[in-house]
Amino acid sequence: MTQENKVRLLLGIFVGLLIGMNLIGGKIITVLGISVSVAIFMTPLTFLITDIIEEVMGKKTAQSFIYIGVAALLMTLVYTAVFVILDPAERYEFNDAYVTIFGVSIRMIIASIIAFVVSQTHDVWAFEFWKKKTHGKMLWLRNNASTMVSQVIDTLLFMMIAFYGISDKFTFGFIITLAIPYYLFKIAFAALDTPFVYLGARWLKGK
């Protein structure tokens, strides 16, 4: 597989993860006694991919992933909004469930787009910053240093925009209590993916 095709493959996975996080990430599960969205298994992979791309292909290519990701999310948002509004056929019995699930997704997609743009833009910038500071060495440092801060931004922005005020329970303080364990899970996954950054970079380079 050529390097160009590898980049395309990573882009396809990246966009698929972004859309998946928004459409199927609304389910809440319990991990180690803490309630988290299933999207927690997908979000760290998006940062892993942009770090691999930036390490090998540079900042501009990583930024192009962000632009394409935003375009995909905006298209998904528009289609979701339109399909929720459209009247169902008489034989379609599940419209109420459809509207309930995907109507909520509209707000989540908006929150995701804003959080995605801000956090990924920071991640790309921070990765480049640490790469210059370390003179291209210590990939593990720039991978984790950029991701840890970016995940704070992503988690807080998303949860505040998606859930603040949806009920009296979802106050600023309550969302913070939800965000902290959620963030810690993300950081744990990010730390575990460090070897995969090295492997991904070597694979993309063709070594």
> How far is it, in rounded angstroms, from Cα 186 to Cα 180?
10
> How far is it, in rounded angstroms, from Cα 157 to Cα 170?
14
> How far is it, in rounded angstroms, from Cα 94 to Cα 88?
9
Which residue, among 3, 31, 15, has the nearest Cα to 186 in the 3D structure?
31
Domain extents for the chain?
Answer: 3-205
Amino acid 207: pLDDT: 66
pLDDT, tens digit, 9 for 90 and up, residues 106-115: 787 888 889 9
Region of residue 136 (left: phi > 0; alpha: psi -120 to 50; beta: else): left
- For residue 66, the one-letter residue type is I
The HSE-up count of residue 115 (CA atoms within 13 Å, CB side) is: 26
**DSSP bridge pairs for 34:** 31
Amino acid 198: pLDDT: 93
CATH class of the domain defined by 3-205: mainly alpha
Amino acid 49: pLDDT: 95
Those residues of the chain that have pLDDT short of 50 are none
Cα distance between the two ends of the chain = 12
> How far is it, in rounded angstroms, from Cα 163 to Cα 75?
22
